[in-house]
């Protein structure tokens, strides 16, 4: 009897943990997108006002960012004589499975590399502004739906846990 109760509690706890993880996923995606927005804004301002090369602008822009791995891989690729477009695409393709961002997010970020590869500051600004608008729209969408979805995920996961316990008993 005690084993059944412990098993039931473990099943419900596991389902609750799964629901919590699902609800947390969108919040983490929003944080990653906002960090990227900050980095892109800093890169653009360094390019526009600092009159730096892309590598210098990127190096300076990521000083305050916690997760620098993707940006440092871009810098390494640039130092190995890769183009900005190739370095940017390769770095963000490599993190596709390790991030909470969607494939559409990554594809839009990769397109930004095309803008950075041009020498025209106006074109670079156009690409950056396009990505920043996309990030703002996604952040607003995530903010509006995250509280609803988190409650839904947690409720459904607890219900599924209880259903599994009832089936097993």
pLDDT at 56: 86
120 alpha-carbon distance from chain centroid: 27
CB-based contacts of 56: which residues, under 8 Å, 6+ apart?
A: 46, 50
Q: Which value, in Å, is the radius of gyration of the alpha carbons in the chain?
A: 21
pLDDT at 107: 92
Residue 120: helix, strand or coil by DSSP?
Answer: coil
- Whose tokens are 């703002």? That residue is 136
pLDDT tens per residue, range 56-72: 888 888 887 777 788 88
pLDDT at 160: 76
Residues belonging to the chain: 169
Angle CA(157)–CA(162)–CA(167) in degrees, nearest 5? 125
pLDDT tens per residue, range 98-145: 888 889 999 999 998 888 887 778 888 898 999 999 999 998 888 777
Q: Which two tokens stand for residue 52?
A: 């730096």
pLDDT band at 1 (very low <50, low <70, confident <90, very high): low
Dihedral angle computed from the Cα positions of residues 77, 78, 83 and 86, in that order, rounded to the nearest 10 degrees: 30
pLDDT at 136: 92
Global pTM? 0.77
pLDDT at 64: 75
pLDDT top residue among 72 and 18: 72
Q: Are 132 and 45 in contact (CB under 8 A)?
A: no
């Amino acid at each position: 009897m005690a084993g059944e109760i412990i098993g039931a509690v473990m099943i419900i706890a596991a389902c609750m943990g799964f629901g919590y993880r699902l609800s947390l996923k969108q919040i983490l995606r929003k944080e990653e997108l906002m960090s990227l927005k900050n980095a892109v804004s800093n890169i653009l301002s360094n390019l526009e006002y600092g009159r730096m090369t892309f590598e210098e602008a990127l190096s300076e822009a990521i000083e305050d960012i916690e997760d620098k791995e993707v940006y440092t891989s871009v810098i390494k690729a640039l130092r190995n004589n890769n183009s900005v477009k190739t370095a940017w695409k390769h770095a963000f393709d490599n993190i596709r499975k390790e991030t909470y961002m969607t494939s559409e997010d990554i594809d839009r970020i990769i397109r930004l590399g095309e803008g950075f590869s041009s020498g025209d500051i106006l074109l670079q600004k156009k690409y950056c502004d396009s990505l920043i608008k996309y990030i703002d729209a996604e952040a607003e969408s995530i903010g509006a739906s995250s509280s609803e979805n988190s409650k839904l995920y947690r409720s459904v996961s607890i219900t599924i846990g209880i259903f599994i316990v009832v089936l097993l008993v």
